[in-house]
């Protein structure tokens, strides 16, 4: 018996556990997917490049001075003249740097990634809020997406889509989408049950309760989630620049490699200006929702 316990302990406890080739399995799967789904990856790459290029050309179609006025006007409509003044000065500083074109390229990439993340996050958040099993299934996937270092999932993205804007956009979507899903689910779950029961008492169907009661009441939380999506997307600028996405990320990566302080400072200022503009405008839109206005009146 003692000899048996000794052999068991030596075989299963003391000896190192065998290595599991997770990396090799992932590499084999990626190679298989790249060959079998080549048309899908090519099509999505072409679509995203066309979308990004078209949006960039649209942002660069007008002179930078006129675009500064337009950005300030958007800020004024969302929050007021104070934000308009802040955004106007910030955008004027960005336009004054040599990297206005790269700034618009970065803004276009963030907007494209945010649009796709929103189109995916809100339906998934609704599904998670309405279905406990779906919520439990999504939670570890969202945790994995949020905690996995960006450089790790850049490798398969580059292998599947190559170098350019597309892998940067896909990496940004993976990194920025989880807060949108989580806060959409949270906002719907926080809707008062008495309001839902009142809608049911008046004979409202589940779809009318969802779109007429739950989503409008959850809108401030959903908008806050979209704000987080935008900020996380903007934080991926530099990493996207490492895979050839261009824009301010490409400028910062080049400046880092060549130790060009002036280029790094100029590009960094432009990133800060974009972050302030997008963050404040989204917060202003959140404050203009009927639920937010009612909360301010009730306070």
Q: What is the DSSP string of 92-122?
A: HHHHHSTTHHHHHHHHHHHHHHHHHHHHHHH
Q: Quote the radius of gyration of the chain (alpha carbons, Å).
A: 24
**Per-residue pLDDT tens digits for 262-282:** 878 888 888 888 888 888 887
The closest of 135, 22, 71 to 273, measured between CA atoms, is: 71
- Residue 180 near residue 122 (C-beta atoms within 8 A): yes
For residues 127-146, give the mean pLDDT. 87
Pick from 59-73, 122-136, 249-263: least confident: 249-263
Residue 10 has what pLDDT?
56
Average pLDDT over the chain reads: 80
For residues 275-294, give the mean pLDDT. 73
Q: Look at the chain and count its residues.
A: 299
Query: For 72, which DSSP code?
Result: H
- What does the alpha-carbon distance between residue 240 and residue 248 come to, in Å, rounded to a whole number? 10
Pick from 11-15, 34-38, 105-109, 272-276: least confident: 11-15
**Per-residue pLDDT tens digits for 24-39:** 777 777 778 777 788 8
- What does the alpha-carbon distance between residue 94 and residue 271 come to, in Å, rounded to a whole number? 9
For residues 171-185, give the mean pLDDT. 88
**Two tokens at 189?**
């779950």
Angle in degrees, CA 171, 100, 263, rounded to 5:
80
Where does the pLDDT of residue 124 fall: very low under 50, low under 70, confident under 90, or very high at 90 and above?
very high
Residue 294 has what pLDDT?
58
- Long-range CB pairs of 131-138 (<8 Å, 24+ gap) are 135/185, 138/181
- What does the alpha-carbon distance between residue 224 and residue 206 come to, in Å, rounded to a whole number? 25
Alpha helix ranges (H) inside the chain: 2-9, 22-36, 38-61, 64-78, 81-96, 100-130, 132-147, 150-161, 165-189, 193-201, 206-209, 215-235, 237-241, 247-258, 261-287, 290-298
| Those residues with Cβ within 8 angstroms of residue 177's Cβ, 6 or more apart along the chain or in another chain | 117, 120, 121, 145, 229
The closest of 210, 220, 230 to 186, measured between CA atoms, is: 220
User: Is residue 6 pLDDT above 60, yes or no?
Assistant: no
For residues 176-203, give the mean pLDDT. 85
Higher-scoring residue by pLDDT: 58, 260: 58
- What does the alpha-carbon distance between residue 96 and residue 94 come to, in Å, rounded to a whole number? 5
User: Is residue 203 pLDDT above 80, yes or no?
Assistant: no
The closest of 48, 98, 3, 31 to 240, measured between CA atoms, is: 48
Pick from 7-11, 256-260, 282-286: least confident: 7-11
| Those residues with Cβ within 8 angstroms of residue 230's Cβ, 6 or more apart along the chain or in another chain | 110, 114, 176, 278, 279, 282
Where does the pLDDT of residue 82 fall: very low under 50, low under 70, confident under 90, or very high at 90 and above?
confident
**Two tokens at 133?**
């099993």
Higher-scoring residue by pLDDT: 288, 141: 141
């Amino acid at each position: 018996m003692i000899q048996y316990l000794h052999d068991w302990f030596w075989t299963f406890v003391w000896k190192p556990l065998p290595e599991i080739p997770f990396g090799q399995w992932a590499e084999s799967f990626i190679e298989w997917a790249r060959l079998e789904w080549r048309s899908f990856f090519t099509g999505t790459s072409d679509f995203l490049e066309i979308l990004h290029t078209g949006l960039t050309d649209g942002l660069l179609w007008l002179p930078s001075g006129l675009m500064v006025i337009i950005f300030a006007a958007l800020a004024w409509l969302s929050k007021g003249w104070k934000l308009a003044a802040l955004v106007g000065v910030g955008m004027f500083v960005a336009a004054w740097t040599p990297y206005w074109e790269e700034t618009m390229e970065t803004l276009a990439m963030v907007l494209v990634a945010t649009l796709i993340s929103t189109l995916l996050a809100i339906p998934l958040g609704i599904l998670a809020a309405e279905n406990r099993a779906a919520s439990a299934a999504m939670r570890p996937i969202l945790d994995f997406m949020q905690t996995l270092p960006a450089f790790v999932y850049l490798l398969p993205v580059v292998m599947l889509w190559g170098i350019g804007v597309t892998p940067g956009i896909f990496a940004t979507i993976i990194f920025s989408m989880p807060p949108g899903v989580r806060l959409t689910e949270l906002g719907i779950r926080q809707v008062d049950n008495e309001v839902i029961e009142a809608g049911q008492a008046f004979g409202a169907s589940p779809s009318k309760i969802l779109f007429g009661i739950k989503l409008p009441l959850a809108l401030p939380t959903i908008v806050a989630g979209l704000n987080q999506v935008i900020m996380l997307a903007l934080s991926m600028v530099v990493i996207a620049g490492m895979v050839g996405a261009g824009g301010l990320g490409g400028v910062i990566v080049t400046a880092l490699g060549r130790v060009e302080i002036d280029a790094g400072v100029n590009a960094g200022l432009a990133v800060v200006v974009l972050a302030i503009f997008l963050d404040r405008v989204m917060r202003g839109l959140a404050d203009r929702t009927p639920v937010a206005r009612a909360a301010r009146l009730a306070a």
